[in-house]
């Protein structure tokens, strides 16, 4: 690791001096291999420090930081881009309670928005009963309908995400159960 950083620093110095040292090939800044697969550019670093393997970064983050959230590049001090975080945490998302509670929050807000919109619509129709519907009331009905549709979409999306998480959770639990059952079966056979 130390050696690697030295190489990186050297290159950065050369870059600074020459001014135009553009990399010919994409090279992972951690393992220095140039296979283009899964090479990502997670921070603001340029030149030879620009690319890194998804897997290499994951290992590096696990060494340097307690959590993937809040991990940053020590050269440019930028937080690693969110999509990398997601990819890195792939499979661990169930443990990510923060995301879960965020969805719950949005779910609660959208649910209350829907309730409010329904109540407002009911009130409006009650008020309009027996009266003629003018342009103003038409406009407010349209606005409320749009906001209600929007809230319902957010609500459904949240529900979907929440259920997706529980689905994966369930699958993993089931998988672990099957594995332990198989293990005991094998042990019994011995
Ligand atoms: Zn690598
Ligand atoms: Zn950087």
Signed CA dihedral, 82, 69, 100, 162: sign only = positive
Span from the CA of 16 to the centroid of ligand 1 (angstroms): 24
The total number of structural domains in the chain stands at: 2
Q: Based on the fold, state whether residues 85 and 110 are members of the same structural domain.
A: no
pLDDT > 90: percent of the chain: 5
Whole domain around residue 85: which residue ranges?
2-89
Separation of CA 76 and ligand 2 centre (Å): 4
Ligand nearest to the CA of 45: 2
pLDDT at 90 over 50: no
Q: Model confidence over 166-179: pLDDT tens digits?
A: 655 656 666 666 66
pLDDT digits (tens, 9 = 90+) for 123-169: 877 777 777 667 777 787 788 888 888 888 888 887 777 776 665 56
Q: Are residues 67 and 131 in the same domain?
A: no
The answer to whether the CB of 45 falls within 8 A of the CB of 75 is yes
Contact 64, 55 (CB under 8 A): no
Which ligand has its closest atom nearest to the C-alpha of 78?
Answer: 2
Please check whether residues 120 and 166 belong to one and the same domain: yes
Same domain, 85 and 6: yes
The mean pLDDT of the chain is: 74
pTM exceeding 0.85:
no
d(CA 10, CA 4): 10
């Amino acid at each position: 690791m130390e050696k690697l950083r030295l190489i990186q620093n050297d290159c950065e110095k050369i870059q600074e001096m020459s001014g135009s040292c553009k990399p010919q090939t994409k090279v992972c800044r951690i393992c220095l291999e140039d296979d283009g697969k899964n090479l990502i550019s997670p921070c603001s670093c340029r030149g030879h420090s620009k690319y890194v393997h998804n897997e290499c970064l994951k290992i590096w983050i696990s060494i340097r930081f307690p959590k993937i959230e809040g991990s940053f590049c020590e050269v440019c001090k930028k937080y690693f881009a969110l999509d990398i975080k997601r990819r890195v945490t792939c499979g661990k998302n169930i443990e990510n309670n923060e995301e879960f509670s965020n969805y719950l929050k949005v779910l609660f807000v959208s649910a209350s928005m829907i309730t409010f919109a329904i109540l407002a619509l009911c009130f409006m129709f009650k008020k309009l009963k027996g009266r003629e519907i003018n342009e103003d009331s038409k406009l407010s009905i349209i606005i409320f309908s749009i906001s209600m549709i929007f809230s319902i979409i957010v609500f459904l999306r949240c529900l979907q995400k929440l259920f997706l998480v529980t689905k994966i959770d369930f699958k993993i639990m089931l998988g672990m159960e099957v594995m332990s059952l198989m293990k005991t079966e094998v042990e019994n056979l011995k």
